[in-house]
Amino acid sequence: MRLPDTSTTLSEIFVQGLYHKKLFSDNRGLEQKLHLKFGALANREGDHQYKGFMAKRPETWPWRVLISLYVLGDYLDAHVVRIAAVDAMILRHEKSDLMTFDDIDFAFANTSPDSKLRELLVHITTYDPDIGSTAREDLIGMPNEFLVNVSMTLSRRLPNRQCQSCYQSALSWSNRQTRYQLIFMSLRTVRPGRLNTCYYHEHSTEEEERDCAARVAREKVLERREQDRNRG
């Protein structure tokens, strides 16, 4: 793998990420800088991706920026940056924002086959309610591995509605597949890792994973408080 083409802006965010374990920038001109480097990136609905942009909130940054930071973290073996990038992408997606197929192409071209980023993008695509309305033409030319993984995941995903006996037999089938036990948890149409973001984090020790789970829980509480404050 080659070192991806990197701007000084991304390098700055990367180094900050190493020290602070989160992605942010103090650069007041960040939006402008990213715009110069990445141009006017669109999301899949064609909206302008810089809408609501905030330098301190990576979940408002374009997908391509987050994917590039992950790729850089992969290349330089900085797993704290990969974790921070994954978390920002998950948040971005929770605001129901989808990456473009170009972004997916870029991610697959710059990661290794066992990459958690690849898995996350496959899961997001597969579990998105709009997958059914994806135009066939959009998928032609996508990386084979992406297409194979999407279709395999789709085939193992249990449908929303079916009769009780079909649902039960599908459930016991997927429960027998050990690799998928983690993936198919109680709510079968939920994206794998939706209930446990550490699934995408590649923690090296159990202790690290415990600390991370505690941190995620803490942040969720803080976020809920902030939402309540904004509402009230």
DSSP 48: B
Q: With contact defined as beta carbons under 8 Å apart, do 50 and 70 qualify?
A: no
Which residues of the shown chain bind Zn ion in the complex (CB under 5 A)? 163, 166, 198, 201, 212
* Distance of closest approach, residue 196 Cβ to Zn ion, in angstroms: 8
Q: With contact defined as beta carbons under 8 Å apart, do 31 and 52 qualify?
A: no
* Distance of closest approach, residue 79 Cβ to Zn ion, in angstroms: 10
DSSP 42: B
Please name the residue that has the structure tokens 């920038």. 25
* Distance of closest approach, residue 157 Cβ to Zn ion, in angstroms: 16
Nearer to Zn ion by Cβ, of 64 and 93: the residue is 93
* Distance of closest approach, residue 7 Cβ to Zn ion, in angstroms: 28
Nearer to Zn ion by Cβ, of 123 and 201: the residue is 201
Q: With contact defined as beta carbons under 8 Å apart, do 131 and 161 qualify?
A: no
Q: What are the beta bridge partners of residue 42? A: 48
Distance CA 40, CA 185 (A): 39
Nearer to Zn ion by Cβ, of 44 and 116: the residue is 116
* Distance of closest approach, residue 117 Cβ to Zn ion, in angstroms: 15
Q: With contact defined as beta carbons under 8 Å apart, do 174 and 180 qualify?
A: yes
Nearer to Zn ion by Cβ, of 29 and 159: the residue is 159
Nearer to Zn ion by Cβ, of 35 and 79: the residue is 79
Residue type, 108: F
